[in-house]
């Protein structure tokens, strides 16, 4: 059983107590260590944020990321992902000598190929941070705190696949905006709840269940909340596919999603009696949702100061 768990009775972004369950069921996840073995997702009726009902403490989370093994790096794709291609264009257009910080820079994958800018990073995993330093990234600390960022101001801050891991997401966004130069940009990429596969699979969608350290999830309502609660020029959110689109995989995953919801005796949605029909017996072993990679289930968010 996980230790040091904090039960959420308020929204971790706006602190409103006006929160409800998104779905009534609890889902299993591969917890262990500091992470719980199951979850229920709550929704804030004030700012729109979705979040898991229990979090490890901030310290436990940082320790967890530090302990992740580099050799187990299943997320280190050889090809540039769609949002990385988009960011490469933006980075290339920056004037020489611009200051850029990547929050959660890992080994420096995003910035290291760009030679004309001053590169900074934040990284909780020590082994990755060491490689990032060799790749020309000036690593400022393990978390994006005032202590790590000091008097630094940036022309661009990027934060890819990090927002969903933050136990205090609004505080982090506010801190990062504070460390932008006037006219600077914060660009972050994260999963979204207002997309087709989440409407279909609810909180059993893989983005919630397969990665147990995904703890908060945003949507258009939360983006609008940021717009009215930050001192910024603008904020835009563009729906994006996290991986390159593949039509064959799309069809397979679409059929699979419908089976998961409507033809699966372990489905959290449909009354069990429905599955006594013999046609559904073949899906009796279906307990875990597959990873779906062909929907615009992420937002590419740009904040201008
Ligand atoms: Zn809220």
Q: What is the mean pLDDT of residues 264-280?
A: 70
pLDDT value at residue 1: 43
- Considering the domain architecture, whether residues 194 and 239 belong to the same structural domain is answered as yes
How is residue 89 written in tokens? 């264009």
Phi/psi region, residue 15 (left: phi>0; alpha: psi -120 to 50; beta: rest), is: left
- Considering the domain architecture, whether residues 205 and 139 belong to the same structural domain is answered as yes
- Considering the domain architecture, whether residues 181 and 262 belong to the same structural domain is answered as no
Which residues are within 5 Å of ligand 1 (an ion), measured at CB?
11, 13-14, 16, 44, 46-47, 49
- Considering the domain architecture, whether residues 88 and 237 belong to the same structural domain is answered as yes
CATH of the domain at 99: 3.40.50.150
- Considering the domain architecture, whether residues 267 and 142 belong to the same structural domain is answered as no
Please tell me the distance from the alpha carbon of residue 104 to that of residue 11, in angstroms, as a whole number: 23
The domain of 14 spans: 5-67
* Domain annotation covers residue 124: yes
- Give per-residue pLDDT as tens, 91-142: 999 999 999 999 999 999 999 999 999 999 999 999 999 999 999 999 999 9
- Considering the domain architecture, whether residues 220 and 274 belong to the same structural domain is answered as no
The alpha carbon of 3 and the centre of ligand 1 are apart by a number of angstroms equal to: 25
pLDDT value at residue 67: 85
Pairing relationship of beta strands 234-240 and 298-304 according to DSSP bridges: antiparallel
- Considering the domain architecture, whether residues 36 and 150 belong to the same structural domain is answered as no
- Give per-residue pLDDT as tens, 281-297: 777 777 778 889 999 99
What does each C-alpha distance from 245 to 5, 136, 205, 248, 300 come to in angstroms?
38, 32, 19, 9, 16
- Considering the domain architecture, whether residues 110 and 251 belong to the same structural domain is answered as no
Domain count for the chain: 3
- Considering the domain architecture, whether residues 197 and 265 belong to the same structural domain is answered as no
- Give per-residue pLDDT as tens, 26-69: 998 988 788 999 999 999 999 999 999 999 988 888 888 888 87
> 3-state DSSP call for residue 287?
coil
* Domain annotation covers residue 147: yes
* Domain annotation covers residue 39: yes
The alpha carbon of 298 and the centre of ligand 1 are apart by a number of angstroms equal to: 20
From 25, 46, 67, the end of a domain falls on: 67
- Considering the domain architecture, whether residues 12 and 54 belong to the same structural domain is answered as yes
- Considering the domain architecture, whether residues 299 and 206 belong to the same structural domain is answered as yes
* Domain annotation covers residue 74: no
CA neighbours closer than 13 Å in the CB half-sphere of residue 12: 28
* Domain annotation covers residue 73: no
The alpha carbon of 48 and the centre of ligand 1 are apart by a number of angstroms equal to: 6
How is residue 269 written in tokens? 């949605």
The alpha carbon of 22 and the centre of ligand 1 are apart by a number of angstroms equal to: 14
């Amino acid at each position: 059983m996980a230790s040091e768990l904090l039960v959420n009775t308020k929204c971790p972004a706006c602190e409103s107590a006006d929160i409800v369950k998104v779905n009534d069921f609890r889902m299993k996840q591969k917890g262990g260590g500091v992470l719980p073995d199951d979850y229920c997702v709550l929704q804030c009726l004030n700012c729109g944020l979705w979040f898991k009902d229990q979090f490890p403490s901030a310290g436990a989370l940082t320790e967890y990321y530090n302990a992740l093994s580099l050799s187990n790096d299943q997320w280190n794709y050889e090809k540039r992902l769609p949002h990385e291609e988009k960011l490469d264009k933006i980075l290339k257009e920056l004037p020489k000598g611009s200051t850029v910080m990547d929050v959660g820079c890992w080994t420096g994958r995003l910035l290291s190929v760009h030679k004309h800018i001053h590169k900074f990073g934040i990284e909780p995993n020590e082994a990755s941070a060491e490689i990032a330093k060799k790749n020309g990234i000036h690593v400022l600390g393990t978390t994006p705190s005032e202590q790590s960022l000091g008097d630094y101001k940036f022309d661009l801050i990027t934060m890819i696949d990090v927002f969903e891991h933050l136990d205090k997401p609004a505080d982090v966004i506010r801190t990062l905006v504070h460390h932008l130069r006037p006219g600077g940009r914060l660009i972050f990429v994260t999963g979204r709840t207002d997309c087709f596969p989440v409407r279909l699979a609810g909180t059993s969608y893989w983005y919630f269940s397969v990665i147990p350290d995904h703890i908060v999830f945003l949507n258009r309502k939360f983006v609008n909340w940021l717009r009215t609660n930050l001192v910024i020029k603008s904020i835009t959110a563009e729906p994006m596919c996290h991986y390159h689109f593949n039509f064959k995989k799309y069809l397979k995953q679409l059929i699979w999603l419908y089976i998961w919801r409507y033809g699966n005796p372990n489905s959290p949605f449909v009354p069990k009696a429905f599955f006594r029909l013999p046609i559904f017996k073949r899906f009796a072993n279906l307990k875990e949702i597959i990873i779906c990679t062909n929907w615009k289930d992420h937002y590419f968010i740009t904040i201008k100061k």
